[in-house]
Structure 1
Amino acid sequence: MATTESQTQRTFFQKLIINLLLLACFVFLLFPVFWVATMAFKTHEDILTWPPKFFFEPTLENFRNITTAVRKARVGAVSSDFLKGFGNSLVVTISALAISLVTGIPAAYALGRFRFKGKDDIAFTFLSFRFAPELLVIIPIYLIFQQIGLYDTYIGLIWVYQLITMPMVVWILMSYFEDISVELEQASMVDGFPPFRTFLRVILPLAKPGIAASSLLAFIYAWNNFIFALILGSAKVQPVTVSALKFITAEKLRYGDIAAACILAAIPIFILSVYAQRYMVRGLSLGAVKK
């Protein structure tokens, strides 16, 4: 009896220590997010105060600064254009993701379901677009865009963002389609469904978790991209990641404005994550284990 109680106490303390360590790691990882969120509601003086202020009077001045087209400063006028950059991000990211889904889902289905010569080479080519450094391809793309007139255009940015979104969609869904039982398609065809209708009515509904997971990850990577938009576009089409650079001025570093921009820029990702979270675990894990 004493041995059993001792083991129970030991197990309890082990679990307590593990939970405390996990809590400490969680607080450590979450603190930067908390700090940026508080900076967005602080004045510039409160941000630079030492020791740091954890209790302060919140203000919306930073959000007003970044949502107005021009902010009067001590030295001239500082153009923010944050809302325009936000809109550019929505246009470019959603368009690139939509094209990737329309073209990537059939490609992933073909790679995951059929066997043909060069299949592995094609799949690896898609993957190479994702892990290749952006700096490796940005100069050739810049020169090509200058020659064919795609520099500083929405079409050009949407096209190049396929290097981010397409590999993510194809590789996640390829493993997902491999795990969908082929007997379901065969049964559908026996019932008189043609292949294309079987794909639309049977396969795609079953693939919703994988589509949601790949869409969310592709959206996040495209939304956060910086280098492509910085090099291949001007203020006309640059997204929110590049627009935030304008808050670094000759007058001062506008920490509060940068923090407010980070909060607003994270809203689309947060909304999409909340909507897709029920699909995420299943969508990412189903293709990981083969029977």
Structure 2
Amino acid sequence: MKRRLIAIAADGALILYFVFALFPVAWMIILSLKPANELFSTYFSFAPTLDSYRTVLGAGHDEGVPFLRFFVNSLVVSLGAVGLSLAIGLPAAYAAARWRFRGSENLMFTLLSFRFAPELTVIIPLFVLYQKLGLFDTYVGMIWVLQLVTLPLIVWIMRSYFSDLSPEVEQAALLDGYTRKQAFFKVALPLVRPGIAAVSLLAFIFAWNNFVFPLILTSSEAQTVTVGALSFLGGDRPKYNLTAAAALVSVVPPLLLALTIQRYLVRGLSFGAVKS
């Protein structure tokens, strides 16, 4: 009986925590469905409307905020950053897993430290450089700076996946006449495909959610959804319903990507482990 009461109490606590954790999401949905004239006068009793989503997507009243352009900007810079990071990071991770030398672990730790370093420590020098080089408020500038977010993550995680592969598989390919480059592309990469899917999703989410770099290094042309969603809060009366709708719309791409590669994601997250 005592064990049953403990189990019921544990389940109840878990449910309460689940409700507490999801309440902000539910509140965002409620805000996005509220009419503008009932935004501050009601809590849960109101007539739901999709006007906020129509406005955010450009089909309703013009609020002067080109959110769809910000949405496209986020897709371009996030996909570009992940693609470039994969092109550079996969060979780097493979080399780090297969060839060890004196100081290699220190080099990897230094690379990883770029991911954990506060973005504010480099934002002022980057701002000055971007102004001088003409990269401010450009796609190229945003893709390049997001390498600081995505590349260390890809190299560090994928190194563990390549380390889990038996070198004998590649040695057999070399004996069959493959070059090292062919063994990498035709043998190693297909075997770690689940890991590539998992790390690509993580890198995309980190790039998509980045706020500091777009805030400082863009103004309008390359601005992303993380900064653009806050544009609805300007003016005499903040439009929280539009901000909530914009935030929920911006969740769609990472969610769709996760559902698309779900089969690889489950295998990828359990295939390897980060090694020290």
What is the CA-CA distance between 1:197 and the residue it aligns to? Answer: 1.7
Which amino acid is the alignment partner of residue 41 of structure 1? Answer: L
Percent of aligned pairs sharing the same letter:
48
Which residue of 41, 44, 57 maps to 1:49?
A: 41
Q: Residue 59 of structure 1 aligns to a residue in which SS?
A: coil
What is the CA-CA distance between 1:13 and the residue it aligns to? Answer: 3.9
Judged with a 3 Å threshold, the aligned counterparts in structure 2 of structure 1 residues 16 and 69 are, in CA distance, closer, same or farther, namely: closer
Q: Which moved more, 1:183-192 or 1:237-246?
A: 183-192
Which residue of 5, 19, 33 maps to 2:11?
A: 19
Given that 2:229 and 2:246 are in contact with CA atoms closer than 8 Å, whether structure 1 keeps it comes out as yes
Mapping 1:184-263, distance limit 5 Å: 184-263=169-248
Residue of structure 2 equivalent to 1:96: 81
Residue of structure 2 equivalent to 1:149: 134
The whole-number CA distance in structure 1 between the counterparts of 2:267 and 2:10 is 26
Given that 1:70 and 1:81 are in contact with CA atoms closer than 8 Å, whether structure 2 keeps it comes out as no
Residue of structure 2 equivalent to 1:132: 117
Residue of structure 2 equivalent to 1:59: 49
Stretches of structure 2 that go unaligned for 5 or more consecutive residues are none
The whole-number CA distance in structure 2 between the counterparts of 1:259 and 1:213 is 28
How many equivalent residue pairs? Answer: 275
Which amino acid is the alignment partner of residue 62 of structure 1? Answer: S
Judged with a 3 Å threshold, the aligned counterparts in structure 2 of structure 1 residues 17 and 282 are, in CA distance, closer, same or farther, namely: farther
Stretches of structure 1 that go unaligned for 5 or more consecutive residues are 1-8, 73-77
Q: Residue 152 of structure 2 aligns to a residue in which SS?
A: helix
Q: Deviations over 1:183-221 (max 9, x none)?
A: 211222233322222211221111112111111111111
The whole-number CA distance in structure 1 between the counterparts of 2:190 and 2:3 is 44
The whole-number CA distance in structure 1 between the counterparts of 2:6 and 2:185 is 51
Cα RMSD (Å):
2.0
The whole-number CA distance in structure 1 between the counterparts of 2:257 and 2:7 is 34
TM-score (norm 2): 0.92
Judged with a 3 Å threshold, the aligned counterparts in structure 2 of structure 1 residues 274 and 70 are, in CA distance, closer, same or farther, namely: closer
Residue of structure 2 equivalent to 1:6: none
What is the CA-CA distance between 1:17 and the residue it aligns to? Answer: 2.9
Given that 2:89 and 2:151 are in contact with CA atoms closer than 8 Å, whether structure 1 keeps it comes out as yes
Given that 1:69 and 1:79 are in contact with CA atoms closer than 8 Å, whether structure 2 keeps it comes out as no
What is the CA-CA distance between 1:99 and the residue it aligns to? Answer: 0.1
What is the CA-CA distance between 1:108 and the residue it aligns to? Answer: 0.6
Which amino acid is the alignment partner of residue 163 of structure 1? Answer: L
Judged with a 3 Å threshold, the aligned counterparts in structure 2 of structure 1 residues 19 and 56 are, in CA distance, closer, same or farther, namely: same
Q: Deviations over 1:198-252 (max 9, x none)?
A: 2112211111121111111111111011111111111111011111121012231
Mapping 1:68-79, distance limit 5 Å: 68=58, 71=61, 78-79=63-64
Which amino acid is the alignment partner of residue 143 of structure 2? Answer: I
The whole-number CA distance in structure 2 between the counterparts of 1:16 and 1:206 is 44
Which residue of 147, 150, 161 maps to 1:162?
A: 147
Q: Deviations over 1:17-64 (max 9, x none)?
A: 3322222211111111111112211113433235x21x5322111012
Given that 1:66 and 1:82 are in contact with CA atoms closer than 8 Å, whether structure 2 keeps it comes out as yes
The whole-number CA distance in structure 2 between the counterparts of 1:111 and 1:222 is 24
Q: Residue 261 of structure 2 aligns to a residue in which SS?
A: helix
Q: Residue 178 of structure 2 aligns to a residue in which SS?
A: coil
Q: Residue 39 of structure 2 aligns to a residue in which SS?
A: helix
The whole-number CA distance in structure 2 between the counterparts of 1:113 and 1:223 is 31
Q: Which moved more, 1:136-145 or 1:111-120?
A: 111-120
Q: Deviations over 1:112-156 (max 9, x none)?
A: 121123311221221111011000000001111111111121111
The whole-number CA distance in structure 2 between the counterparts of 1:36 and 1:167 is 33
The whole-number CA distance in structure 2 between the counterparts of 1:122 and 1:271 is 35
Residue of structure 2 equivalent to 1:34: 26
